[in-house]
Amino acid sequence: MSQPAANSSWKTFLRLVGYLKDYKLAFLVAILGNLAYAGMDFIFVRSLEPLTDEALVKGNMKTLQMAPFFILGLLVFRGIASFISAYCMSWVGQNIVQRIRVEMVEHFMRLPSPFYDKNASGSLVSKITYDTQQVASAITDAITKLLREGGLIIYILIYLFMTSWKLASLFLLAAPVIGLIVNITSKRFKLISHKIQNAMGGITQNSQEIIEGYPVIKTFGGEEHELERFEIEAKKNRQQNIKMVITRAASVPIIQLIAGFSLALVIYYAGIELKAGALTPGQFVAMLSMMLLMLKPLKIISNLNSIFQTAIAAAQSIFAIMDEPTEKDEGTKELKKIKGKVEFKDICFNYPGSQIAVLNNISFVVEPGQTVALVGRSGSGKSTLVNLLLRFYIQTSGEILIDNINSSQLKLKNLRQHTSIVSQMVTLFNTSVSKNIAYAVSGKIDPQVLKQVADQANAIDFIEQLEDGFDTLVGENGSKLSGGQRQRIAIARALYKDAKIVILDEATSALDSESERAIQKAFDTLTSNRTTLVIAHRLSTIEKADKILVLDKGQIIESGKHQELLDKKGFYANLYQLQFKDIDQ
């Protein structure tokens, strides 16, 4: 293994060990239990020496008669040690994995938007589920086996050296060769493990797309296409797993064969020692039995190498995510209440790594209680302005002011506390209607406010007709509700939050005209006395806006009220006429 890679693996291992500090007592009990378990196996084989010398050679039948009780006692203690060690090790492992998963999810929620732009959601989900499970396997199963089998090997080596250091030294001649094989296979195990994790990320991503996109797949007849894509990812995973099995299957018998040569050499010289009287028959039998017994733990520990390398690779993948820089929050101020004035001053923006300007010197003011609509072709920069206001992205230059205070001076949580958003793609959570409306509200939900905002959002009628009313589960992303119902739940959520700044992001573009009219009334309630930014697709919905800004190629090319822009007969008027022409047709 190269020095940087070795250092990286060692640092990852030490970082994992760091999680043990809160569970060190249980881990210590697990260690002692496993060593006691190994000790019972060793004592059983060690008892062959007095049994052979006393009972078989000297004819002491009392020793033979006591042997069954001795064996039963060993089995009882072995069983107790096995239970204690297994329980404690599993408890430690699952607690650590739970902590890692919680830390990962907590970190995910603090990562900036560009991170999600460049990482597939399926791959990230795979890290929380699959990669953490690899770590759990190493902590529980692998460490348990390492302690039991490694402890047994140490006990055996101590006995061999105490009995005959010459024969024990002969047996250890194979150690450097075995170490070299382990080192070579470790590098391959780790490389293959990384590839398996990447393949699992692909499988998870494909599976997620198939499950979530089944209506489109079925409608467009994409079943075979998606199956081919999935088979490619599944094939990658299968090939890497087979490579892992081949490497493991080749390394284990080679290690055992080398150990076998050492064993044969020891047996040959042990016979000479026995003949010369340097060994008793009991010592010869015990040594031979112990060296044969050592082959099994050697095999098990050789197999553990692949598990540990898989766990290290998985941990490196997890820690790489957890080391991603979080959203910058250099704000120090908090505003308990705001009037709602929003000002964009000379805003320029281009996405990280791109030289193309998405916004170029954008300046405008939204007074408290005003509604300003942003219109323009796709890619003109409308949604980017909203993302900059919420600080999902940071402008390249310029300032965004909230009540004449630079928004960068506000703490992120405080800034977003004063903002609500209703978008075209409504996000609902698989919980009750009430918890979706009062989302993330600390303390008890106020039932009166809940009904009030549902009524204002024109949602009360359909909610009360649901099977369990406000306690009805909405399904994954609101799958049990229609598009219009989901929108009204989202409006009710914004009303419940009662933020002073409201963002409507193409919130009616996917609805039919009848649903749009019903929801427009709810929007009127939501935007009353609130500062509102509307990203509009249907221009008919913004005729009452206090100001309309027309964006094109990242610049404001027109601004004014609806009728003023129509009278100009410019870009907005042409866009408006095109929409009504489409409706007439």
- 209 & 263 share domain: yes
Residue 407 counted as domain residue: yes
Half-sphere exposure for 507 (CA within 13 Å, toward CB)? 33
Give the mean pLDDT of 379-389.
Answer: 89
Q: What is the mean pLDDT of the chain?
A: 82
- Residue 216, pLDDT score: 59
**Pairing relation of β-strands 397-402 and 547-552?**
unpaired
Residue 6 counted as domain residue: no
Is pLDDT of 4 > 60?
Answer: no
Confidence of residue 555 (pLDDT cuts 50, 70, 90): very high
- 497 & 437 share domain: yes
- Residue 561, pLDDT score: 92
- Residue 338, pLDDT score: 92
Q: How many CB atoms lie within 10 A of CB 468?
A: 10
Residue 75 counted as domain residue: yes
- Residue 227, pLDDT score: 80
Joined tokens for residue 172: 């250890």
- Identity of the residue numbered 2: S
Joined tokens for residue 179: 């170490």
Residue 363 counted as domain residue: yes
- 246 & 386 share domain: no
- 510 & 418 share domain: yes
Residue 515 counted as domain residue: yes
Question: Which residues does residue 374 pair with via DSSP β-bridges, in sequence order?
Answer: 535, 549
Q: Let me know: does 147 contact 38? Beta carbons within 8 Å.
A: yes
Give the mean pLDDT of 127-137.
Answer: 83
- Residue 218, pLDDT score: 61
**pLDDT above 70 as % of the chain:** 86
Q: What is the count of structural domains for the chain?
A: 2
The pTM of the full predicted model, rounded to 2 decimals, is 0.74
Among candidate residues 291, 322, 353, the one where a domain is terminated: 322
Greater confidence (36 vs 118) lies with 36
Return the CATH number at 436: 3.40.50.300
- 403 & 552 share domain: yes
- 86 & 217 share domain: yes
- Identity of the residue numbered 470: F
Residue 179 counted as domain residue: yes
Give the mean pLDDT of 316-329.
Answer: 89
Joined tokens for residue 438: 């009062």
Express each pLDDT in 51-103 by its tens digit: 777 766 666 777 677 778 888 888 899 899 999 998 998 899 889 888 998 89
- 286 & 349 share domain: no
Return the CATH number at 278: 1.20.1560.10
- 409 & 313 share domain: no
- 306 & 352 share domain: no
- 220 & 350 share domain: no
| Residue-range definition of the domain harbouring residue 144 | 12-322
Q: Let me know: does 406 contact 400? Beta carbons within 8 Å.
A: yes
Residue 219 counted as domain residue: yes
Could you tell me the CA-to-CA distances from 275 to 270, 278, 288 in Å, in that order? 9, 8, 15
Q: d(Cα 8, Cα 361) in Å, to the nearest integer?
A: 45
Give the mean pLDDT of 338-353.
Answer: 90
Give Cα 467 distance to the centre of its chain. Answer: 35
Among candidate residues 289, 322, 355, the one where a domain is terminated: 322
Residue 337 counted as domain residue: no
Give the mean pLDDT of 482-486.
Answer: 84
Q: Is the dihedral of CA 579, 581, 584, 585 positive or negative?
A: negative
Greater confidence (521 vs 549) lies with 549
